[in-house]
Structures are given as structure tokens and as C-alpha cells.
Amino acid sequence: MAAGLASCGKSDSGGTGSGAGQSSGTERAAADAALAEVKKHWTKGAEGWMTARNSGSSYAPVRFIRQFRELTVDGVRSADLSESDRMNGLEWAGEVSFKQAPCREAGDQGILLDGLANVTTFRQRGRWTQWVDFQPEPVQIQKVKATGKSTRTPGSFGETFPDPRTLVTRA
């Protein structure tokens, strides 16, 4: 499986989970691959899932923590494969979407969710922003015959497991 962009959602268990009604084993495998990618770049804490981000450059980094209350697969959508896709070893392609969930950020100054939320909220170093409901992009998944599973991580998905002490101070 190859993963592309990511998204978020909610499960009854309060952690990661897959959406109901997956229609095939391949779609279930795609959902599992997306969740495995979540666990590589997000860490579960008492208040939700966190990842470290940098929206700046190596010369002028803008580092912050993004936290979603819950991350859960909402659904899987298959894409049509061409003859060339099949000849190149693709068995399946599609995207895994996640449910909308509360999200917040803390760290270097900037606009919450890069201005994509339905409100304009600014991060202030040392404190969390307000929670806002947000649904990022889905994860693109491909099943490749010859290589089995491989993962490509997008920059918008998350970079490393965060150390909240570096970006957030609790009062």
C-alpha cells in the first residue's frame, strides 16, 4: 500500500478505527494501511492524537503541534485502474477518508490549520488554540503487486512524534 495525504475522524473506542461497511477485503486492507500510517506519524495522548509540524522552511521554520481529538477512517473509495496501471503492477488504488474531528494547535505563531478552518484563529506560543472541527484531505492508497506494501508520507500528514514540552506549556 502507498499512502498519500491524510485526514481524521472518530471511533467508538476514542482512538483510530475503520469506518463501517467496508465492502471488500482490499478496501479493509486500504483502511488498515491508512491507520498504520497514522500511527507512524501521530502519537496518542490523554487529549487526543498529536504530531509535530513545520509549515516554514529550513531557513525560517514555523514549528507547532497539531492535535486531533480522535482519528478514525470514515470510508474507502476505489479508483478506476487503466490497462497501464495494471501492467505497472497496480492491483488496487483509491483513497481512505476520515471523519471530521475537533482539532487544535500550539507552537510558533501562525494561523490555525493554515487558514483552512471555518474560523480564523492564530497560534500563540505556549498555549493551545481553541478547538475547531476540521476534516483534512484523504489518504491516497495503492496496492502494488510486486512490492507489497510501501508508504509515501506527505508533508501535510505529520513529521515526527511530538514532544509537547517544546511547543506547549501548561499553566
Structure pTM? 0.69
Q: What is the pLDDT of residues 92-131, one digit of tens each?
A: 888 888 899 999 999 999 989 888 888 888 998 889 999 9
Q: What is the pLDDT of residues 14-70, one digit of tens each?
A: 344 444 443 577 778 878 877 887 788 888 889 999 988 888 888 998 899 999 999
Domain that holds residue 80: 2-49+69-103+133-166
Residue 123 lies inside a defined structural domain of this protein: no
Residue 27 lies inside a defined structural domain of this protein: yes
Residue 112 lies inside a defined structural domain of this protein: no
The pLDDT assigned to 133 comes to: 94
Residue 145 lies inside a defined structural domain of this protein: yes
Residue 19 lies inside a defined structural domain of this protein: yes
- Strands annotated E in the chain: 2-3, 43-45, 48-54, 63-68, 73-78, 90-98, 101-107, 110-111, 122-123, 132-134, 139-144
Residue 41 lies inside a defined structural domain of this protein: yes
Question: Domain tally for the chain?
Answer: 1
Angle, CA of 159, 160 and 163, to the nearest 5°: 130
Residue 85 lies inside a defined structural domain of this protein: yes
Residue 158 lies inside a defined structural domain of this protein: yes
